[in-house]
Amino acid sequence: MSAAEPAHIDFRRWPVRETGEQHAAGSRVRGYVISGLLLGFLLIPVVTAVFNDISPARLTLLLVDTAVYAAGFLVGIWEGLGFSRAGRVAVVVLLFALGFGVRFLSDHQVGWLVLGYAIVVTALLLPIWLTPVLGMGAFVCAVLYSIVLNDGLDWVEVLLISSSVLTVGLLCLLINMISQLRAAHETIAGFAVVEERARAARDLHDVLGHSLTTITMKLSLARRVLESGASRDQAANEVAEAEQLSREAMLEVRTIVVGHRATTLAGELVAARAALRVAGIRANFPHAVDDVRMDLREPFAYLLREAVTNVIKHSGATRCDMTLGATWIEIRDNGRGPDEQGAVNSGSGLLGIGDRLRRVGATLTVSRSDDGGFQLRASTA
């Protein structure tokens, strides 16, 4: 199942054995106790047969059949999930045969109640769709058996057959579906964890890539000022601004971890101007973002941050221009741009930005600007 697929119940799936210490030590013990207590219902046809005064030989066969049936039921629910598919089918067929044997040897209608044990094992070991199929098959066979045995349809016997098959079958189906829903819920929870990790990684890249680039530029400028013997105050100011940016980056990292960071287009506009100024790149940016649609402002802010970071680090540009509209943003520089073959280096940053834009119905295109540099355009059109 991929992250894009919705979790669903697969009626053709073969059940598998659960793993884990908790299941082995807790749930398994409870299963032993409950299944052992359920075997008490097998005494009903035996006691009924005794009161009907059947022959000793028939009673002996009934006791053997019932004992084997009980043992097969316990083996099926305790160890059946470890069998091969052929072994599971063999266990189910044997239990249905023994269940019919109990009815025949007890020579009483109440013997049909024990078919529920075979249906329980069917629901546990075989795919879900086989439970109603085999249950209905057992019902039909039991009705035909009743007609032949009684020279006519016995409605009391039909009622006992249907109550045994339908009640136990539906209960087992419900339990099986709940189990698969629980597994689907765990799968969805796993996808949510993966998505949250991807979000955190994407946000960390966006924040740290921009912040560290600006800090590096400021420290580099401070070093050049000190080497040139110019005013130490200017170098101290650049170092102080780098320190402040570092503190802000640490704060943003903390807020990313808890998922409460809000990035604004207006804030990124101011930060981009400052970063470009430090890098000696002229910025031609608009002064307001009021016309931009509200749901597009945050992804446009991330795009602006990533674009300015790339301009400073890779482009060698001397100018960066940005224009805005209600549903679009365009960022251009006059740097090196794409290579001669027109290939565009779409790093993890731009890939993450593309994912953000797709969520709001926008697309990102990367091309060569009129000045030969990069041109990034995002729009909903």
Query: Is residue 254 domain-shared with residue 298, that is, in the same domain?
Result: yes
Residue 96 lies in a domain: yes
Q: What is the pLDDT of residues 103-135, one digit of tens each?
A: 788 876 666 777 778 877 887 788 877 767 777
- State which residues form the domain around 143: 21-191
Query: Is residue 333 domain-shared with residue 184, that is, in the same domain?
Result: no
Residue 4 lies in a domain: no
Distance, in Å, from the CA atom of 109 to the CA atom of 60, rounded to the nearest integer, reads 19
Q: Say yes or no to pLDDT of 5 above 50.
A: no
Q: Say yes or no to pLDDT of 333 above 90.
A: yes
CB atoms near residue 235 (< 10 Å): 20
Residue 219 lies in a domain: yes
Query: Is residue 287 domain-shared with residue 326, that is, in the same domain?
Result: yes
Q: How many separate domains does the chain show?
A: 2
pLDDT confidence of residue 2: 40
Top pLDDT among 21 and 221 is at: 221
Distance, in Å, from the CA atom of 175 to the CA atom of 35, rounded to the nearest integer, reads 15
Decide which of 158, 175, 191 is a domain's last residue: 191
Query: Is residue 150 domain-shared with residue 207, that is, in the same domain?
Result: no
Top pLDDT among 98 and 53 is at: 98
Query: Is residue 53 domain-shared with residue 142, that is, in the same domain?
Result: yes
Residue 12 lies in a domain: no
Characterize 108-147 residue by residue with b for buried, 16 or more Cβ atoms within 10 angstroms of its Cβ, and e for exposed: bbbbbbbbbbbbbbbbbbbbbebbbebbeebbeebbebbe
Distance, in Å, from the CA atom of 171 to the CA atom of 179, rounded to the nearest integer, reads 12
pLDDT confidence of residue 345: 46
Decide which of 168, 191, 214 is a domain's last residue: 191
Q: Say yes or no to pLDDT of 358 above 70.
A: yes
Q: Where residue 368 sits, what CATH number does that domain have?
A: 3.30.565.10
Query: Is residue 145 domain-shared with residue 243, that is, in the same domain?
Result: no
Decide which of 191, 218, 246 is a domain's last residue: 191
Query: Is residue 86 domain-shared with residue 26, that is, in the same domain?
Result: yes
Query: Is residue 107 domain-shared with residue 157, that is, in the same domain?
Result: yes
Residue 15 lies in a domain: no
CA 197 to chain centroid, in Å, comes to: 13
Q: What is the pLDDT of residues 178-201, one digit of tens each?
A: 666 666 666 776 676 666 666 666
pLDDT tier at 62, thresholds 50, 70, 90: confident
Query: Is residue 187 domain-shared with residue 111, that is, in the same domain?
Result: yes
**How much is the pTM?**
0.42
| Residue found by looking up tokens 């320190």 in the block | 243
Query: Is residue 185 domain-shared with residue 321, that is, in the same domain?
Result: no
Q: What is the pLDDT of residues 221-273, one digit of tens each?
A: 778 777 777 677 777 777 777 777 777 777 666 665 555 555 788 888 888 88
Sheet holding 363-368, edge to edge: 282-284, 319-324, 328-333, 374-379, 363-368
